[in-house]
Structure 1
Amino acid sequence: MCGRFSLTATPEDVRDFLGLLELEGFPPRFNIAPTQPILVVVAGDRQEPGSNLPDRKAVLVRWGLMPSWVKDPKEFPLLINARSETAIDKASFRAAMRHHRVLVPASGFYEWHRPAKESGERSQAYWIRPRHGRIIAFAGLMENWSSADGSEVDTGAILTVGSNKTIGRIHGRMPVVIKPEDFERWLDCKSGEPRHVADLMAPVEEDFFEAIPVSDLVNKVANTGPEVQAPVGESLAVAKPEKNSPGTGQMSLF
């Protein structure tokens, strides 16, 4: 799963990476947690005259998807993640997969390795970031939820997939990463059906991420500074491919 992530890149870098015409400034965020507002990018309605950029815009959503058909949010679980293997058919995500696919810009995410109790080992948090050091885009879903009194809120979730072998040493799931060359196809909900983007929902290459052990400061939502990413040990080694196996690819935010 993905229960915490970070976005510390500058607004200018996020704008350029995602091909946005404009993006309001925002501060670096080192420990983004569920129910907080997160930045997502959606396909726009039209191309700007004279622009070579794709028609995309950034919006804020609450992290925790709420399907439009939910009557009482207090009786519905907080959906911060959606399993990519079942999202196309699951009632909670079916409409969003068809009509509201989004990109979630991030600098990386956190995951916890939780050993079996009988092992006597402590839980260990990891800061998992791209080795190239730049921005990444998670596959996301968005839904607009309306209450009985007419108030509306945009909500979102991050899609996950079974981890590759490297991240699998920490946790069995990881976020789906959409590469820049696939942004247009992922966001195209007018002509692209969910089955047309199913191939994008796969784990990244073994050496794409670097997993760095960090302290338990990240466990507390109140800790929002860069100290939550301070290393406390060596990075996790990249898993080597098995012999004879098929080849693997070597706005205010408050």
Structure 2
Amino acid sequence: MCGRFVLNQTAAEIEAVFGVMDYEGGIAPRFNIAPTQPVLMIGKGYPRAPGSNLPDRCAILVRWGLLPSWVKDVKGFPLLFNARSETAGEKATFRAALRHHRTLVPASGFYEWKRTGKAGAQPYLIRPKRGGLIAFAGLMETYLDPNGSEMDTGAILTTNANETLAPIHHRMPVVIQEEDFERWLDCINNEPRDVADLMRPVEPDFFEAIPVSDRVNKVVNDDPGLLDPAPDAPEPVSEERKADQLSLF
């Protein structure tokens, strides 16, 4: 799953990767983005001026937690910040967004927790080994409440964890590679079945897992120190490696 993530690149760096102009509200570095908070999403926008080599994309802030247009009782509706890519097209909650409003979610990395027993869990920062920005596969839905006001909402698609992350958690965000941005965002020419091949785990050596302090557990903590490696934290070990280690004794 993906319940917290990081976006600490500058607006210029985001523009260079995603082909969008600076978001008009400004982009501040974030180190502990949590559900219900605003998240940056990239979607299809209006065509650029003639002669422009920038794609027709726009950046928008949305509430992290998707609300389908048919919801009547917002307070009673569950917080849907993740959507399973394998079944999203079959669920009334996500079907329309997957067909008509696919987005990219810029990120520098995300956090995941490995259970260490009944008492707690060890948090890990999951980041690309090469560094830089990545793009999670996102869904967006504009919710119109009974009073007539609109709210843009969204969720991040997940898939099965790859070999690197499976020892920590069984799910991970879907990552869209830069060469596939346009195909993923083009909801006019590409139906969900046309982009199904993009909703898969990244290769095992794409991410690295860094144990970090449990300060990240509290949403109020949002500072660069959250990215610092935690001293003496255990390395994640797969079930296969556990079996190999036990066979030595």
Aligned to 2:205: 207
Aligned to 1:150: 148
CA contact (8 A) 2:101 2:139 kept: yes
- 1:91 deviation in Å? 0.7
CA contact (8 A) 1:140 1:157 kept: yes
Q: Describe the shift of the 1:152–1:75 C-alpha distance in structure 2 as closer, same or farther (beyond 3 A).
A: same
- 1:230 deviation in Å? 1.2
Q: Distance in 1 between matches of 2:31 and 2:72?
A: 33
Partner secondary structure for residue 73 of structure 1: coil
Partner secondary structure for residue 165 of structure 1: coil
Gap runs ≥5 in structure 2: 239-249
CA contact (8 A) 2:43 2:103 kept: yes
The residue type equivalent to 2:131 in the other structure is G
The residue type equivalent to 1:153 in the other structure is M
Higher mean displacement: 154-163 or 40-49: 40-49
Q: Deviations over 1:75-124 (max 9, x none)?
A: 1100000000000111100000000000000000000001453xx7x410
Q: Deviations over 1:157-185 (max 9, x none)?
A: 00000000110000000000000000000
CA contact (8 A) 2:168 2:236 kept: no
Q: Distance in 1 between matches of 2:3 and 2:78?
A: 14
Q: Distance in 2 between matches of 1:236 and 1:18?
A: 33
The residue type equivalent to 1:83 in the other structure is R
CA contact (8 A) 2:123 2:212 kept: yes
Q: TM-score, normalised by structure 1?
A: 0.89
- 1:236 deviation in Å? 4.8
Q: Describe the shift of the 1:235–1:30 C-alpha distance in structure 2 as closer, same or farther (beyond 3 A).
A: farther
2:6 is aligned with 1:11: no
- 1:47 deviation in Å? 3.4
Q: TM-score, normalised by structure 2?
A: 0.91
Q: Deviations over 1:30-51 (max 9, x none)?
A: 0000000000000113232110
Q: Describe the shift of the 1:23–1:152 C-alpha distance in structure 2 as closer, same or farther (beyond 3 A).
A: closer
Q: Distance in 1 between matches of 2:187 and 2:237?
A: 35
CA contact (8 A) 1:211 1:235 kept: no
Partner secondary structure for residue 218 of structure 1: helix
> How large is the Cα RMSD of the aligned pairs?
1.9
Q: Distance in 1 between matches of 2:37 and 2:236?
A: 32
Identity of aligned residues (%): 63
Q: Distance in 2 between matches of 1:179 and 1:47?
A: 23
Written as runs of structure 1 = structure 2, the 5 A alignment for 1:224-243 is 224-233=222-231, 236=235
Aligned to 2:68: 67
CA contact (8 A) 2:167 2:236 kept: no
Q: Deviations over 1:2-61 (max 9, x none)?
A: 000010001100011001144343211000000000000001132321101110010010
Partner secondary structure for residue 93 of structure 1: helix
The residue type equivalent to 1:228 in the other structure is L
Q: How many residues align?
A: 238
Aligned to 1:178: 176
2:167 is aligned with 1:166: no
Q: Distance in 2 between matches of 1:235 and 1:49?
A: 55
Aligned to 1:189: 187
